[in-house]
Amino acid sequence: MTVIGFIGLGNMGGPMSANLAQAGHRVRGFDLSAEAVATAAEAGVEAVASGAEAATGADIVVTMLPSGSHVLDCYGTNGGLLAAASPDTLFVDCSTIDVAHAREAAQMARAAGHRALDAPVSGGVVGATAGTLAFMVGGPEGDFAAAGPLLEAMGRRVVHCGESGAGQVAKMCNNMILAASTIAVSEAFVLGEKLGLSHQALYDVAANASGQCWSLSVNCPVPGPVPTSPANNDYRPGFATQLMIKDLGLARAAAEAAGVDAAIGLHAARMYEEFGAAGGIGRDFSAIITAIRDRSES
Ligand code: NAD
């Protein structure tokens, strides 16, 4: 039985830690929110009083936190995770954070005598609950192999992307594609509407032709063609616009730092920020079609 310290028991970390407990691991969980701790405890996670206590005696420490500064704080003097853990503990950060922070976190862990991976996820709360997340992992091959059973208890697809930070790079690039493709599919539906083409007809053509993509065939932004897409449920997330804005912010910072001409990605970031500020923040990100349609009214 593996002993796992789990820090950050929120919307994602709560169900992820519950799946680890259900897989037979001993999971010692901590969160600043007493409510999050209580919910995880009901699902079989052992509640402890601090992050340091969760890391003490753990074989693996998982973090699922809001941002890079939270991760560094928890690893370092504030949270004391690295100092509390036994030598050679495997630290797996599943949070979505910027690449520089991910590399710094891995360096801090190694300097303290531990092993480290960045392992951000896609699949959202639904995937976290069902244990079907996709993990994008950065770090040494040996550490990746050691984390395999843990990641497989929480997810369905696990990809080793390269050295430390590579998991975050993959996640950010994927979500930049996702934002741009969702906007492109939305514009096509609005143009089709204006010209008298039914949603179903456009779907039937594009889903079987070169316009096919996840934003069309799974997360279709209009109700009807894909009954399970958030558009059929008043755009309840799903993947909230707020999270897309966060991920596009990371992509923008990385593109600017790397000097990459990511014109479409940066434009998508601006469109999502405007949509969020105009009230879309809590809606599924595919609801951006409503803003495109509103702007297209003549
Ligand atoms: P959340 O806000 O629900 O959970 C974060 C938890 O961290 C909170 O419960 C908070 O109390 C806790 N926390 C913050 N600082 C802490 C500290 N110092 N010690 C202990 N606990 C602390 O967020 P979430 O939706 O679970 O997202 C977590 C991460 O997963 C984020 O990086 C997010 O970008 C990423 N992510 C989220 C989704 C999603 O659909 N929600 C999908 C993919 C990735």
Q: Pick the atom of ligand 1 nearest to 67's CA.
A: 32
Residue in 179, 188, 177, 204 with CA at minimum distance from that of residue 296: 188
Average pLDDT over residues 2-30: 97
Termini Cα distance of the chain: 64
How many Cα atoms sit within 13 Å of 152 on the Cβ side? Answer: 7
Of 142, 163, 184, the last residue of a domain is 163
Distance 213 CA to ligand 1 centre (A): 28
**Residue ranges lining ligand 1, Cβ < 6 Å:** 7-13, 30-33, 36, 51, 64-66, 70, 73-74, 79, 95-96, 121-122, 124-125, 239, 243, 246
- Look up 194 and say whether it is catalytic: no
Q: Which of 70, 114, 115, 171 is catalytic?
A: 171
Of 132, 163, 194, the last residue of a domain is 163
- Furthest CA-CA distance within the chain: 66
ipTM of the shown complex: 0.99
Residues 154 and 181 in one domain: no
**Consecutive H or E run containing 135:** strand 133-138
Q: Which CATH number covers residue 176?
A: 1.10.1040.10
Residues 24 and 159 in one domain: yes
Provide the β-strand partners of residue 115: 90
pLDDT given for residue 28 in this prediction = 98
> How far is the C-alpha of 121 from the C-alpha of 68, rounded, in Å?
15
Residues 39 and 176 in one domain: no
Tally of domains in the chain: 2
Residues 109 and 7 in one domain: yes
Q: Pick the atom of ligand 1 nearest to 96's CA.
A: 32
pLDDT given for residue 77 in this prediction = 84
pLDDT digits (tens, 9 = 90+) for 251-282: 999 999 999 999 999 999 999 999 999 999 99
Residue 206 belongs to domain spanning: 169-295
Residues 15 and 143 in one domain: yes
Q: Which CATH number covers residue 24?
A: 3.40.50.720
Q: Confidence class of residue 64 from pLDDT cuts 50, 70 and 90?
A: very high
Average pLDDT over residues 281-291: 98
- Which residue among 9, 19, 50, 65 is best mutated to probe the pocket of ligand 1, counting the most ligand atoms within 8 A of its Cβ? 65
pLDDT digits (tens, 9 = 90+) for 12-23: 999 999 999 999
Distance 95 CA to ligand 1 centre (A): 7
Q: Confidence class of residue 174 from pLDDT cuts 50, 70 and 90?
A: very high
> How far is the C-alpha of 246 from the C-alpha of 96, rounded, in Å?
9
Distance 36 CA to ligand 1 centre (A): 11
Query: Would you say residue 1 has pLDDT above 90?
Result: no
Residues 81 and 137 in one domain: yes
Residues 18 and 74 in one domain: yes
Residues 120 and 83 in one domain: yes
> How far is the C-alpha of 36 from the C-alpha of 31, rounded, in Å?
7
Residue nearest to atom 2 of ligand 1 (CA): 10
Name residue, tokens 């779907």.
203
- Which residue among 6, 37, 64 is best mutated to probe the pocket of ligand 1, counting the most ligand atoms within 8 A of its Cβ? 64
Residue nearest to atom 4 of ligand 1 (CA): 10
Residues 148 and 289 in one domain: no
pLDDT digits (tens, 9 = 90+) for 65-118: 999 999 999 999 888 999 999 999 999 999 999 999 999 999 999 999 999 999
> How far is the C-alpha of 68 from the C-alpha of 87, rounded, in Å?
23
Distance 96 CA to ligand 1 centre (A): 9
Q: Give 80's contacts (C-beta < 8 A, 6+ positions apart).
A: 50, 51, 52, 55
> How far is the C-alpha of 256 from the C-alpha of 7, rounded, in Å?
31
Residues 185 and 248 in one domain: yes
- pTM across the whole model: 0.95
Radius of gyration of the chain (CA): 20
Q: Residue 259: left (phi > 0), alpha (psi -120 to 50), or beta?
A: left
Q: Residue 197: left (phi > 0), alpha (psi -120 to 50), or beta?
A: beta
* 55 in Cβ contact with 61 (< 8 Å): yes
**Within 10 Å of residue 2's Cβ, how many Cβ atoms?**
16
> How far is the C-alpha of 101 from the C-alpha of 238, rounded, in Å?
27
Task: Give the mean pLDDT of the chain.
Answer: 97
What is the percent of the chain where pLDDT is above 90? 96
- Characterize 96-134 residue by residue with b for buried, 16 or more Cβ atoms within 10 angstroms of its Cβ, and e for exposed: bbbbebbbbbbebbbebebbbbbbbbbbbbebbbebebb
Query: Would you say residue 298 has pLDDT above 80?
Result: no
Strand bridging mode 133-138 / 121-122: antiparallel
136: tokens are 């994008």
Query: Would you say residue 148 has pLDDT above 90?
Result: yes
Residue nearest to atom 16 of ligand 1 (CA): 32
> How far is the C-alpha of 106 from the C-alpha of 115, rounded, in Å?
8
Of 113, 132, 163, the last residue of a domain is 163
**Within 10 Å of residue 223's Cβ, how many Cβ atoms?**
15
> How far is the C-alpha of 282 from the C-alpha of 242, rounded, in Å?
6
Q: Confidence class of residue 126 from pLDDT cuts 50, 70 and 90?
A: confident
Residues 156 and 25 in one domain: yes
pLDDT given for residue 92 in this prediction = 98
Residues 126 and 200 in one domain: no
pLDDT given for residue 19 in this prediction = 98
- Which residue among 7, 28, 32, 129 is best mutated to probe the pocket of ligand 1, counting the most ligand atoms within 8 A of its Cβ? 32
